[in-house]
Amino acid sequence: MSYAKLTREQIAARIARDIPEGAYVNLGIGMPTLVGNHLPKDREIFLHSENGILGMGPAPAAGLEDMDLINAGKEPVTLLTGGAYFHHTDSFAMMRGRHLDIAVLGAFQVSVSGDLANWSTGGDAIPAVGGAMDLAVGAKNVWVMMEHLTKTGESKIVERCTYPLTGIGVVKRIYTDLAVIDITPRGLVASQLLPGLTFEELHRLTGIPVLPSGARAAA
């Protein structure tokens, strides 16, 4: 059967649906920032940015950008009613003090045991760790948002990370353009697959076993 991979906006919308009421959430630089544009209107969710913002809103409309109000990726954002901005030292204290419920981070690789590599691919690449290590060990739940395969068709979910690590055993859930996968003591467990994508095909693309969780929900 054929299937169409999710777009980045669709992955972001799927993550947003899973964030519970009252959660304090950090959205990492890159793809994860898209999640802020899809949060349910009927839930109060507090978005945090490590440069010192709490109560961040979605991206501003074109022409209404305020470059004095940006996230950690230097992208213009909005501030919701009651939101605040503060020194980044206080922001990192919030991260390291385990006051964040969820951190949604991008990744170059995630291992079957939840190791995260997202700041350097080695070689001539310019490393950019930012606050990723603090978020990886400080957030109560680390969710990864990424495309399932590299541009050359290799799985980003691996038996063992070959890139420099950001954190060891920190990732609890992976959202890709193919599936939602939890990292459990049993191994990788897929709770959602794209319609038309079989576990056998997901296993082939991933290169390591992926177990079903039971009923399969459409993305």
Distance CA 3, CA 41 (A): 30
Q: Could you identify the residue written with the tokens 């913002």?
A: 53
List the catalytic residue out of 9, 21, 44, 50.
Answer: 50
Q: Identity (one letter) of the amino acid at 85? A: Y
Estimate to the nearest angstrom the gap between the alpha carbon of 67 and the chain centroid: 24
Nearest 10 degrees: CA dihedral of 78, 8, 16, 121?
Answer: -90
Q: Identity (one letter) of the amino acid at 198? A: T
Q: Could you identify the residue written with the tokens 């385990």?
A: 98
Token pair in block for residue 163:
């890139």
Q: In the annotation, is 50 catalytic?
A: yes
Catalytic site positions: 50
